[in-house]
Chain A
Amino acid sequence: MMRKLPLIKIKNGTKHYLKITGNQKAQHYILMTTFLMLTITGFPLKFHYYEWAKPVIEFFGGLHVTRTLHRIAGVTMCGLFFYHWYYLIKNIYNYYWGPAKRSGTFSWGELGKFVYYSPMCPRAKDGKDIADFVKFALFISDDRPKHERFHWREKFDYWAVFWGIPVLGITGVFLWFPVWAASFMPGWAINISYIAHSDEAMLAVSVIFIWHMYNAHVNYDKFPASNLFITGYLPENLMKHEYYVEWARINKIVEKDPSFMVDVDAQQEAQKLEDEEKLSIIRDQISFLQESEKNDKGDK
């Protein structure tokens, strides 16, 4: 079963709320590195007529190298895609299918609800949130919409990647093995793959580098950079500000079961006390022995 992570960590006097788990962080790391690698090795080819293209290719050691790196990164990213499917199904099994079957309360309707209310699934609320956000941005309302664990911007990123990887992956394989692809498809399909691969990549890069970077890493509340993708935890002010519903949900759980909250500060404080105690015992001992040695000499 899953390792139990504390939902709230208290550090330096502020509460930090759990946003993404270690496994999810790892997936994000892999996605991030492969994405950057694919961009940096792919863009010089797409935009070969700019002056920066050649130096980039030469920096890596020529077309042979960038081609290989691009394919390795692409295969890794597709591997992550398949792993993610496994991860989703595993979670459905672990958190609903298995327990419900065992307890004999399984119903397809409830499975649907489970999926519908899972954190990344787009819901009617997201539509409302977007409308509310537009109202807020146009000064019509004064409040930002209250979000759950993942708000509509994050869901957009997630589903963009979910759609993008198959498109890029399949067209990428066609371009990688054109002879094989042309053995069962007309020639123009490879031309289309080329257009689709490069245009979809352009969309992905512009959305990730501008929209995702802005929302997740540099927007005003998080400026200059959010370290969420490293720590997995968000400080309370951000959590409350951006994910009010999730903040409330976690608070409720913690109220019920305080074991979900780990007070790092208190632990450190306790550790400090313990350390001081140990040190004072040792120091007392040393000074006592030194004292007694002195007395011995005096006696002589």
Chain B
Amino acid sequence: MRIYCFIAVMVFSLFVTCASAQAAVTDGENCMMCHKYPGLTRVNDEGYLRVFYVDSENYAHTVHTKVKCTGCHVDIKEIPHKEMKPVDCSTECHINNAGSEKPFSHKKIVETLKKSIHNPDNPDVRARIVEDFPSCTNCHKNPTYRFDPGDVESVDEARHKERVLQKCAVCHDNNIDYKYFFNHVTHRIKNLAPSEDVVKTCSKCHSREEMATKHKMKNAAATYLDTFHGKAVEFGMPHAPTCIDCHVKKGDSAHNIQSWRNPKSATYEPNRYKTCEDADCHANASQQFGMIRMHSVIDKDIYPIEFYVALGFTILTIGAFYPLLGLMILELIRELFPNFSLRRKKKD
């Protein structure tokens, strides 16, 4: 009897541990009392659906799992909530910067972004339409950790994930943070987002024809997808080159993209080939190699050579094929009336 009791207690405590592990979401404010309901939605005046539902299980595996709701949604002070401003990522949130005791913030990245072409005040910007420029959340969602400790097992079966974490626990006893830092570091180490996701992110704006027209640009996404780079991404080739691979200097931040007219830019014409000649890409590229157009459009004013070559081939194709097609159709009509003749009438 006693042994059964013991087992029951063990099982119970196991359940409690699991349950408490799952409930590790930072929700001291009990926001989830309401926000756990998927139906917490409304349609705003412009017709957009606003979803206020937060999937806590998903949130627990995201990079912001340690940040409590009011860490980002700073102006929520009371219930019912007042109308609030969009979240500002340069806010200092309530977690501490590891290594220093300063509160953490994405301010540095926001400042980098402000110096890049993605800021209306950049001198290379052609149309300063402020609302068209991206803020953090236009490109970033709350990503889940890319590296799951469970992956460790697939690397080496002998390394059970518990044992890996145990090694951390040798020093960081009773400190739940080592799991968080393990996730954090492995997330950064693991390869960046898949190519198609990068393209999709940039495509949110750069594939829009009306946006391109407004800003006097080309449809960057469509022209890119017409290149072999874009097709490789489209057909799922691993490590296919994305927007970032060419537009971000090696080792630089993707937030620091500059206009091709800026000499510091990865795509500055005289230096463009240096971006191409990465060892994994086109080693030994020449200066002219960098001049191969990657966002080519058939346009008489921008690229006359391409335009006339395309025109020539189109005329050749149409000029060769359609007369032949006409002859075939004429022959079929002739086959339909084999006995009819205009000449016979003359003879009569």
Contacts and interface: CB of A to CB of B under 8 A. Distances in A.
A139 B310 contact: no
A57 interface: yes
A211 B225 CA distance: 32
Contacts of B313: 195-196, 199-200, 203
A300 interface: no
Tier of interface size on chain B: 35 or more
A55 to B, nearest CB: 11
A78 interface: no
B232 A63 contact: yes
A185 B309 CA distance: 16
Given A179-B285, A187-B288, A187-B289, A137 B327 contact: yes
Given A63-B235, A195-B313, A211-B324, A183 B286 contact: yes
B interface, over-half SS: helix
Contacts of A175: 228
A167 to B, nearest CB: 9
A190 interface: yes
A182 interface: yes
Contact of B235 (A48, A141, A196, A207): A48
Contacts, number: 128
A187 B290 contact: yes
Interface string A190-204: 111001100110110
B288 A183 contact: yes
Interface in B285-313: 285-286, 288-293, 296, 303, 305-306, 309-310, 313
B335 interface: yes
Interface in B231-263: 231-232, 234-237
A140 to B, nearest CB: 6
Given A182-B289, A199-B314, A57 B331 contact: no
A138 B330 contact: yes
A182 B292 contact: yes
A179 B290 contact: no
B286 A188 contact: no
Contacts of A219: 331
Nearest to B293: A191
Nearest to A197: B313
Contact of B291 (A136, A187, A192): A187
Given A182-B286, A199-B314, A203-B313, A62 B324 contact: no
Contacts of B293: 187-188, 191
B341 interface: yes
Contacts of A140: 342-343
B337 interface: yes
A285 to B, nearest CB: 61
Contacts of A192: 305-306, 309
Tier of interface size on chain A: 35 or more
Interface in B269-285: 282-285
A137 B321 contact: no
B342 A139 contact: yes
B43 interface: no
Nearest to B305: A188
Nearest to B298: A195
Contacts of A215: 328
B189 interface: no
A133 interface: yes
A101 B105 CA distance: 91
Given A187-B288, A191-B293, A196-B309, 17 more contacts: A48-B225, A58-B235, A62-B236, A64-B237, A139-B340, A178-B282, A179-B289, A186-B288, A188-B292, A188-B293, A191-B292, A196-B313, A203-B317, A210-B321, A211-B321, A214-B328, A219-B331
30 contacts: A48-B231, A58-B235, A133-B327, A137-B327, A137-B331, A137-B333, A137-B334, A138-B330, A139-B341, A140-B342, A142-B343, A175-B228, A179-B289, A182-B285, A182-B288, A182-B292, A187-B288, A187-B289, A187-B290, A187-B292, A187-B293, A188-B291, A188-B293, A191-B305, A199-B310, A199-B317, A203-B317, A210-B324, A211-B321, A211-B325
Interface of A: 44-45, 48-49, 53-54, 57-58, 62-64, 133-134, 136-142, 156, 160, 175, 178-179, 182-183, 185-188, 190-192, 195-196, 199-200, 202-203, 206-207, 210-211, 214-215, 219-220
